[in-house]
Structure 1
Amino acid sequence: MNKSFLFFTALICSTTAFGQHINNPGSNHGNKFEQLGTIISDPNSYRSASGAPGPAYWQQRADYEINAELDEKNLRLNGAETITYYNNSPDPLSYLWVQLDENQHKATSDNKLTERSKITEQMNYKALSEIINPANDLGVKILKVTDEKGTALPYTINNTMMRIDLPSVLLPKQKYKLKITWNYKIPDRMADGGRGGYEYFPEDDNYLFTITQWFPRMAVYSDFQGWQNKQFEGRGEFALAFGNYKVNMTVPADHVVGATGECQNYAQVLNASSLKRWNAAQSAKAPIEIVNLAEIKSAMGRKSTAKKTWTYTAENVRDFAWVSSRRLVWDAMATHINGKKIMSMSYYGPEAYPLYNKYSTKVVDHTLREYSKHTIPYPYPVAISVEAANGMEYPMICFNYGRAEKDGTYTEAIKYGMIGVIIHEVGHNFFPMIVNSDERQWSWMDEGLNTFCQYLAEQAWDNKYPSQRGPAHKIVDYMKMPKDQLEPIMTNSENIINFGPNAYAKPATALNILRETVMGRELFDYAFKEYAKRWAFKHPTPADLFRTMEDASAVDLDWFWRGWFFGTDPVDIALNDVRYYQMNSMNQVAENIEKKKAYERDQYNISRERNRKQGSKFAVERDTSLNDFYNKFNRFEVSKTADQEFKNYINSLSADERALYESKKNFYELDFTNVGGLVMPIIIEWTFKDGSKEVDRIPAYIWRKDENKVTKVFAKDKEVVSVQLDPYRETADIDELNNAWPRKGQPSRFELFKQQQAPRGSSAGANPMQQSRQ
């Protein structure tokens, strides 16, 4: 177990255990606004206090030459690779760690052994067979590990990690070349799970191969944790080194291959028609089909027994993935960003054609443009979307879902789900393929940042786009859950219960709140771009993000990181009371009218009212001798000198005082309570008597002296009839009922319906497109 990970986890546990009250426990201040201090790592020569790479920053490099052959008949992948590993660290290395991700499918893997299971009323064959006989033939078979001369190297496999012992210490600034020969049975991705494998289509007896995490890959050795050799259990993704790739993929001759990087031999593997279309696509402003639907339907029925080898190269990437099948339509168009041409492309089967042919490549194009606007210009020459009934990302290529009904129709949910997943997975090119965070450790650094950028791209696609992650109110249901169902964002991937809300939605929401509510777009956008520029093609940590956002904006955000990323408190700011004040007019006539109203209101009671109504004869009425001066005294009579006294008061005022007096301001004193615990800005919408509205925004720092309760007075020109907190639902407040004055009810609706029993397994969603054709 990595020592720095244990230390970091211990810090998180200790701080969250005390609700982040690490400086002044038990106090109503001095906690939520203290600097992060020891919660994050200290700056050093590798990582500066500004959040930028330090003057001594370094990272390792690994180059690959790989020969792979896809054995479609036996569903096996055979491979041989040469790795050139560059030790750019200041440390001598006596061994290297290599990732064997395919071993996650082995019955003896940690993730299989720790999977929970139980008996239900209905058990299918797969579930029972895995309990009775969990053994399988999956996982990597290492055939040989040698140095570049062919001399065998000793190695030890521990689950999904392989340690290769070097014959001599690899010193700083040296490189080492090793060779690995291996194979594995390709898993059925639809049955065995995981990210790569095959999908079988029985209707045409063909396969779609998505080959991912398929070759032994170098683990990361870094300045902040040494070797990142935490086991791959399926959720926490990857920490990988950058390098250059040359990959030869031998596949059936009628297969179409798409991969990371650029193909070097299209002239040899494409027929004349496809090559001509490919050349035309280089300048196309709309997608051109390189391989069309009619051609793949023909290939699906014939099945070639010959082989072809596709050669791809890629520079400065952290991984390599590919797709291969004879049932793939392939289209492409040119995207131009900052004068650079990128080929936006899609690969998809017949069942996805109605959706992907219309949208996929144009969504790729849109994503590259929007992400480049908010981060750095897309640096790679290619970006590919593949329909594969899943969602997963690799450099320059990603796998997405989105299939139509057999009649070509599709639901609105599928349409927007497909567009969203393409944006998301293509967007992963930026986080973490370029800004290369450690996904094995901090899923949110790639998923959360990417989901935030996905939200920006979705909203740029359509102003009415139904984004599910990003808007603040969408995270409320998660944040109001019981604390035993929550973890801080700063939690290792494998320990999270609600992974989607925690690693994707909450950090994306937090960043959107930073942009729209805390920092403002101008400051946020500049700082976020600075983070992307600083850490492009490098390995950032959370501290590097936190520090850069503050360094580039001059906004102290430690309170925000502490609350949103290290804690589990929700936002719930209550408006407890509103008190209305006006200045004394000093006009005795006007003041006595108000005093009389107040006096009568104070003297009124129910007994007096009922005695009067029932016609009671009071003592002072029966015996008038009981009356004296005070029975006839008018305490609100205006004195004879009142007019002169008022003039004297007005004349005594300075010009500024007189202007203030004549402004007739209305003063409102508001009491707020931080019920949820997470400090946030206070946003107040005032509705005036004339129907107009006004919004005041109070920074979160108002809670510094008292993190639980604050009172603030506001002066308004017009009389207020109602007050609403968080009117645009931008802070993720979990209880909107305590946000208004006067208090508002929230009516719900119910429907009277005839009880019906729907057939088990029937579709639950409407398909208006299909209905319109009937």
Structure 2
Amino acid sequence: MPKLNSKFLSVLLSSVVFLVFGCKAQKLADTIKYNHQDLFGPINWPVPANQVRSANGSPGPQYWQNKVDYNIHAILSEKDTSINSKVVITYTNNSPDKLDYLWLQLDQNLFKPDSRGAAATPIAGDRFDVKGFSRGGYHIASVTITYKNKSYTVKPVITDARMQLRLNEPVNANGDKIQIEINYDFAIPLYGADRMGRLKTRNGYIYEVAQWYPRMCVYDDVEGWNTLPYMGLGEFYCEYGNFDYFITAPADMLVFGSGDLQNPAEVLTKTQISRLETARKSDQTVMIVDKDEIGKPETHLKQNGTLIWHFNMKNSRDVAWAASKAFMWDAAKVNLPSGRKAISQSAYPVESSGNNSWGRSTEYLKNSIEIYSKAYIEYPWNSAVSISGVALGMEYPGIIFCLNNLKNENLWGDVTHEIGHNWFPMIVGSNERKFMWQDEGFNTFINQYASEQFNNGEYYHPANRPSKVITRAMQNNQDPLMTPPEAMNMNDYGLYYIKTSLCLDMLRNVVLGPDRFDYAFHTYINRWALKHPQPYDFFRTMNDASGEDLNWFWKEWFFTTWKLDQVVTDVKYVLGTPSKGSLITIENREKIAMPVDLQITQENGKVENLHLPVEIWQRGGTWTFKYPSVSRIQSVVIDPDLQLPDINRSNNNFSDKRSTK
């Protein structure tokens, strides 16, 4: 046989190696989708750290945000179910930029028949069911600008639910002010995209009134003017400021609004004022207007004409209100951690009354505020009110709208969720129009702890783990959490709630531990209270305050629709002897990587829980580790507490059928 030359031998050996290991790699590729380079590669956030937003996630030394103060006078007309109003807006430009024009939101224009929201509503409808109606939308009668003591009228440029005001002279930077006066009116829709509307009851209509004045768009350091149109699902992004507003309503109505009622003696009877004072000192619910007082002459200061209700709210991003002849009314004291007292109230029709329904609304509201204030940051305002009406559930600072026919646990869930939004996004003022998970998901996360604490867990169901629900939902998930609401598949938008909540659960219980998570989460809340955080401010704060590079976690859970599948593949013994130790092999078959919690049971009855960090997956999807067994391994179970949304739990268990106790 002729001798093989060295070059040919080298090529042949390389081919053999390729065939052997290539086939093995192909086999692994058929089962393992995980690629460590996809997950642990570098991330460049689209919002870079700078003097406005620091690298540690806090507002920078040059952080700024603009301020908007509103003075509003509105008249509710029952005859044509309309609002006729004037708003005077004082806008403070704290930005470093001159502003040649201003942008405002005209959210009522969603209900015009030709709105973008109506055009984009599925033919079968949806929860928001934006169809528009013939009288829908704002009628802007006039717009007057006052700047440097000079006033002039402008013709607004209206595009769908946005209005641009082109100025004769730009507003200067760094604290300059400009005033806008707008006269307008609109018809109240019967069903206002589950945000507002009218409900007919046996004693009259309940009016839930929101998105009821032209609101300034946010001008920030990331987007400049934020002008995404209101289309129904995506909610709001508003500037903070002070509100002074006056509601003129029929005299036989009760009116409730965000903030503090300034003129109780001018709109309430002496009996009602006295009962309110009792309620302010009572931890038990006190009736202010009972069902047998509805419609009685003595329930109102006068029967004919109108009354003007004056409300004031400071450091808020919005206000809403409700009015009706049909309201029962009760209230109770709220105890805040600082020792300050607030008041919780509920207004509902006779049809909603009863201890299995709205008779407990104030109890639910009071306890939720106390729980969230103690756990996160103190509720900053003096009152909160829950309104029974047509909206399934909608939140505003100091006032929430919940569905009229809810009972027991369903009402508790609605009340605690909607008032929870006063923390996210009313206190921590994120951009709901773009990042729905940053308010809905955070709020869903804190709601579970409220349910656990309320009345010794009356409505708490620990067996209903979010991981079970989301595992099913993730099977066909099409859009990641960072998708804007209006681009999210309508079958997926519930993931903003449960997926985000589960992410925070996993971060707290599996990745960081409660102490480090809670410290970092509180740091985020305190840094961004009454400010405008971006998602990247949250990510950076959690990284920095926990002392952990969590970019892999943010990437897989918020920017992708990847799935998780952790597997026990093999158990062997050192030198074939269990007493010399075990070699346990696990795989990460899908693209998401997480730390691995295992429960290992030996034949001798010893049970031990192990926690392996996510770093075991930094170089690939297969990991073998030595476990100091002294007898045969009876079973190995991944994620024994079911904290992760593993899509295939059938491969989470290893069981040695030969092993017996």
> TM-score by structure 1 length?
0.76
Distance in 2, Cα, partners of 1:269 & 1:469: 47
Contact 2:348 2:404 (8 Å CA) reproduced: no
Distance in 2, Cα, partners of 1:171 & 1:546: 33
| Equivalent residue, structure 2, for 1:489 | 481
1:663-710 CA-partner distances (Å, limit 9, x unpaired): x8452222212122110111111223344522111111110111x222
Correspondences of 1:298-309 after superposition (within 5 Å): 298=296, 304-309=303-308
Correspondences of 1:726-765 after superposition (within 5 Å): 726-742=639-655
Correspondences of 1:405-554 after superposition (within 5 Å): 414-461=407-454, 462-463=456-457, 465-466=460-461, 471-481=466-476, 485-497=477-489, 498-554=491-547
Contact 1:70 1:76 (8 Å CA) reproduced: yes
| Equivalent residue, structure 2, for 1:400 | 402
CA 456–34 in structure 1, closer or farther in 2 if over 3 Å, else same = farther
CA 351–500 in structure 1, closer or farther in 2 if over 3 Å, else same = farther
Shift of 1:174: 0.7
Contact 1:668 1:714 (8 Å CA) reproduced: yes
SS at match of 2:36: coil
1:115 to 106, 121, 128: 121
| Equivalent residue, structure 1, for 2:314 | 315
1:208-250 CA-partner distances (Å, limit 9, x unpaired): 0000011101010000110001111111111100010110001
Q: Which amino acid aligns with 1:415?
A: N
Distance in 2, Cα, partners of 1:27 & 1:193: 42
SS at match of 1:457: helix
Distance in 2, Cα, partners of 1:348 & 1:327: 7
Correspondences of 1:577-596 after superposition (within 5 Å): 577-581=570-574
1:293 to 286, 291, 294: 291
Figure out how many residues of one structure are paired with residues of the other and give that number.
611
1:607-632 CA-partner distances (Å, limit 9, x unpaired): xxxxxxxxxxxxxxxxxxxxxxxxxx
CA 312–135 in structure 1, closer or farther in 2 if over 3 Å, else same = closer
| Equivalent residue, structure 2, for 1:378 | 379
Is 1:255–2:269 an aligned residue pair? no
Query: What is the identity percentage for the equivalent residue pairs of Structure 1 and Structure 2?
Result: 35
Q: Which amino acid aligns with 1:273?
A: T
| Equivalent residue, structure 1, for 2:368 | 367
CA 728–551 in structure 1, closer or farther in 2 if over 3 Å, else same = same
Contact 2:596 2:612 (8 Å CA) reproduced: yes
Contact 1:197 1:210 (8 Å CA) reproduced: yes
Contact 2:479 2:492 (8 Å CA) reproduced: no
Q: Which amino acid aligns with 2:644?
A: T
Shift of 1:534: 0.1
Shift of 1:531: 0.2
Give me the CA root mean square deviation.
2.4
1:159-212 CA-partner distances (Å, limit 9, x unpaired): 0000011121100121001100000111101xx6341121123x44x1000000
Shift of 1:49: 0.0
2:48 to 42, 52, 70: 42
Distance in 2, Cα, partners of 1:415 & 1:297: 28
Q: Which amino acid aligns with 1:152?
A: T
1:31 to 38, 47, 54: 38
Q: Which amino acid aligns with 2:622?
A: K
Q: Which amino acid aligns with 2:259?
A: G
CA 88–469 in structure 1, closer or farther in 2 if over 3 Å, else same = farther
Distance in 1, Cα, partners of 2:49 & 2:499: 27
| Equivalent residue, structure 1, for 2:594 | 680
Q: Which amino acid aligns with 2:383?
A: V
Q: Which amino acid aligns with 1:29?
A: H
Shift of 1:402: 5.1
Shift of 1:115: 2.3
Contact 1:34 1:558 (8 Å CA) reproduced: no
1:429-457 CA-partner distances (Å, limit 9, x unpaired): 01101100011111111111111111221
Q: Which amino acid aligns with 1:675?
A: R
Contact 1:455 1:467 (8 Å CA) reproduced: no
Shift of 1:136: 1.0
Shift of 1:738: 0.5
Q: Which amino acid aligns with 2:384?
A: A
Shift of 1:67: 0.4
CA 245–739 in structure 1, closer or farther in 2 if over 3 Å, else same = same
- Structure 1 gap segments, 5+ residues each: 1-25, 120-126, 405-413, 585-663, 745-774
- Name whichever structure is richer in helix by fraction: 1
Shift of 1:468: 9.7
CA 417–468 in structure 1, closer or farther in 2 if over 3 Å, else same = farther
| Equivalent residue, structure 2, for 1:702 | 616
1:262-304 CA-partner distances (Å, limit 9, x unpaired): 0001111111111110111121111111112211254799994
| Equivalent residue, structure 1, for 2:209 | 211
Q: Which amino acid aligns with 1:352?
A: S
Q: Which amino acid aligns with 1:296?
A: I
Distance in 2, Cα, partners of 1:299 & 1:200: 21
Distance in 1, Cα, partners of 2:571 & 2:560: 31
1:385-413 CA-partner distances (Å, limit 9, x unpaired): 21224100000111112526xxxxxxxxx
Distance in 1, Cα, partners of 2:384 & 2:589: 47
1:14-36 CA-partner distances (Å, limit 9, x unpaired): xxxxxxxxxxxx99433312342
SS at match of 2:252: coil
Distance in 2, Cα, partners of 1:468 & 1:214: 42
Is 1:720–2:637 an aligned residue pair? no
CA 539–363 in structure 1, closer or farther in 2 if over 3 Å, else same = same
| Equivalent residue, structure 1, for 2:22 | none
Shift of 1:346: 1.4
| Equivalent residue, structure 2, for 1:95 | 101
Correspondences of 1:563-582 after superposition (within 5 Å): 563-581=556-574
CA 181–30 in structure 1, closer or farther in 2 if over 3 Å, else same = same
CA 574–512 in structure 1, closer or farther in 2 if over 3 Å, else same = same
| Equivalent residue, structure 2, for 1:349 | 349
| Equivalent residue, structure 2, for 1:64 | 70
1:497-544 CA-partner distances (Å, limit 9, x unpaired): 134432111111100111111111000001000000000000000000
Distance in 2, Cα, partners of 1:470 & 1:553: 25
Shift of 1:473: 2.2
Shift of 1:469: 8.2
Contact 2:634 2:656 (8 Å CA) reproduced: no
Distance in 1, Cα, partners of 2:79 & 2:483: 43
CA 218–556 in structure 1, closer or farther in 2 if over 3 Å, else same = same
> TM-score by structure 2 length?
0.88
Q: Which amino acid aligns with 1:451?
A: T
Shift of 1:139: 0.5
Distance in 2, Cα, partners of 1:468 & 1:270: 47
Contact 1:402 1:417 (8 Å CA) reproduced: no
Distance in 2, Cα, partners of 1:353 & 1:689: 60
1:329-367 CA-partner distances (Å, limit 9, x unpaired): 221111121211111121111122114454211221221
Correspondences of 1:138-287 after superposition (within 5 Å): 138-148=136-146, 151-172=152-173, 173-189=175-191, 193-201=193-201, 203-204=202-203, 206-287=204-285
CA 690–466 in structure 1, closer or farther in 2 if over 3 Å, else same = same
1:412-438 CA-partner distances (Å, limit 9, x unpaired): xx4222111111100100110110001
SS at match of 1:505: helix
1:136 to 131, 134, 137: 134
